[in-house]
Structure 1
Amino acid sequence: MKRITAYATTSGIALPEQPGVPARDACGPQPAAVVRDLRDRAGRSPHGLTFGAADLVVVTGLPGSGKSTLMRRAVRGARVDSQDTRDRWDTRLAGFLPYAVYRPLVRLAHYAGLRRALRSGAGVVVHDCGTQAWVRRWLAREARRRGGTLHLLLLDVTVGTALDGQRERGRGVSRYAFLRHRKAAGHLLRSVEKGNLPEGCGSAILMDRTAADVLNRIDFAAGVATAA
Structure 2
Amino acid sequence: MWITSFLAVALLVALTPGANNLLALRHGMVRGFGGAMVGVCGRLVAFAVLVVAVVAGLGPLLSASEWALTIIKWAGVGYLAYLGVTILWAGFRRRGEPDEAVVEPAARERPTLSALARKEFLVAITNPKAVLIFTAFVPQFVVPAGGSVTTQLAVLGACYLVAEAVAAGAFAAAGSVIRAVRLSYRAHRRLDRATGGVLLGMAGLLATESP
Shorter-chain TM-score bucket reads under 0.3
Bigger fraction of residues in helix: 2
| TM-score w.r.t. length of structure 2 | 0.28
Structure number with bigger Rg = 2
Bigger fraction of residues in strand: 1
